[in-house]
Chain A
Amino acid sequence: METTTVGADTKWWNGGKSPFNVEYGKLMMWYFLMSDSFTFGAFLIAYGTVRFSSNGWPDPNEVFKSYPGAGEATNAPLVFVSIMTFILIVSSVTMVLAVHAGHERNRKKVVTNLVWTILGGLAFLGCQAWEWNHLHHEGAWWGRNPFPNADGTGSTTNFTNFFFTITGFHGFHVLSGVVINIVMLVMTLLGTFEKKGHYLMIEKAGLYWHFVDLVWVFVFTCFYLL
């Protein structure tokens, strides 16, 4: 917070200093994330629009009620998705701990926390793969929707189309986040950041990773809770 208090009476735009007080890469990462939130926003708004224009919609508690190893008759809504949400929040924490360790130039702690973040990302992807596979076995896919509306009427394929498109797009972001984090881990292990004198690149990867978590907050709420 000290920057804002100092910044209040600083002439940021008189030249000689970076007016946003961030490095180029971080600024551009923020703008990329802003544009990405428009993409996700458009997806979710399209989903909302179609849902508002439909007379019936499948009940998410009827659709997402299973977890790995559960029997056919299991009725456990929200259980599996809470685990997925928990995994992603924890991996967000380990990421921010890695960034923090980077500020302290603590290479060992950066490595440990990055490894945990990568494992969290992979665990999330595994959960999603299981869920997609499970739904696919139940007959759900793009263009196919076996789940009736909550009021018992026949449903359209809008539900599955939006579900697979949006969670798929999010899952793809998680996958790229994991790849980026693996690159960061390798660079840390090779000592690239030590040579550079700072770990600012981890911070940019961290911003991306938190964004993935942020999007999941919205996707999770829109598809599983509402």
Chain B
Amino acid sequence: MEHSTLAADPVHDNHGGTKEIWRTFWILLGLTIVELVLGYIMIGVESQGGRLGLKGAIIILMLAKAFYIVAYFMHLKGEIRNLVMTILVPLSLLLWAIIAFLYEGHSYRNNRNTYDAYTRERSHIQSTDKKADEKGLHEKKRTGANTME
């Protein structure tokens, strides 16, 4: 590194100049417009799969926008790798949190929708009775959703 002190290096991450700034702006604008178009298309889509696909596309575009803002507007791309890692690696905890909590939310909804107090109560009582146990097993299969998920 030619520069040993920071004060002598005020432009160390200033790569590209205003041309790159405007390029990033057009990219962000383009991505936003595509997002909005997809949002408009989604209003008319009824099928669950179609909506899910559009939502997935919108999320990918959102992440692309986030990348351009962080990499170019915030110049994170020009920083030293170690610094970038100290910021990005802790943030990967959020990935775990997204997966875990959304799964949890979905499972809670499932449990609540399939919860059948009557059968649950019955299978609990019957488990002491051998003959009824077989019946209980049968019942458990039917209401498997509430015990498994």
Instruction: Mark A residues whose CB is within 8 Å of B.
Output: 1-4, 6-7, 10, 12, 16-23, 27, 30-31, 34, 37-38, 41-42, 45-46, 48-55, 61, 77-78, 82, 85-86, 89-90, 92-93, 95-97, 100, 103, 197-200, 206-207, 210-211, 213-214, 217-218, 221, 224-226
Contacts and interface: CB of A to CB of B under 8 A. Distances in A.
Most buried by A among B15, B62, B80: B80
27 contacts: A1-B78, A7-B1, A18-B6, A20-B80, A21-B1, A21-B83, A22-B80, A34-B87, A34-B90, A37-B91, A38-B94, A45-B94, A48-B101, A49-B105, A77-B39, A78-B36, A82-B36, A89-B29, A90-B25, A93-B21, A96-B73, A97-B21, A197-B7, A206-B74, A207-B74, A210-B74, A214-B66
A221 B6 contact: no
A32 to B, nearest CB: 11
A37 B92 CA distance: 11
Nearest to B11: A103
Given A1-B78, A12-B82, A20-B80, A214 B70 contact: yes
B82 A20 contact: yes
Q: Which interface class (under 10, 10 to 19, 20 to 34, 35 or more) fits B?
A: 35 or more
A45 B101 contact: yes
Interface of B: 1-2, 4, 6-7, 9-15, 17-18, 21-22, 24-25, 28-29, 32, 35-36, 38-40, 42-43, 55, 58-59, 62, 65-66, 69-70, 73-74, 77-83, 86-87, 90-91, 93-94, 97-98, 101-102, 104-106, 108-109, 112-113
B80 A3 contact: yes
A217 B39 contact: no
Q: Which 8 A-B pairs have the closest CB atoms?
A: A52-B105, A49-B105, A53-B105, A20-B83, A49-B101, A221-B62, A53-B108, A53-B109
Contacts of B102: 45, 48-49, 52
The main secondary structure of chain A at its interface with chain B is helix
A200 B38 CA distance: 40
Given A45-B101, A200-B10, A78 B32 contact: no
A84 B32 CA distance: 12
Contacts of B10: 103, 198-200
B18 A100 contact: yes
B83 A27 contact: yes
A216 to B, nearest CB: 10
Nearest to A38: B94
Nearest to B99: A45
B3 to A, nearest CB: 9
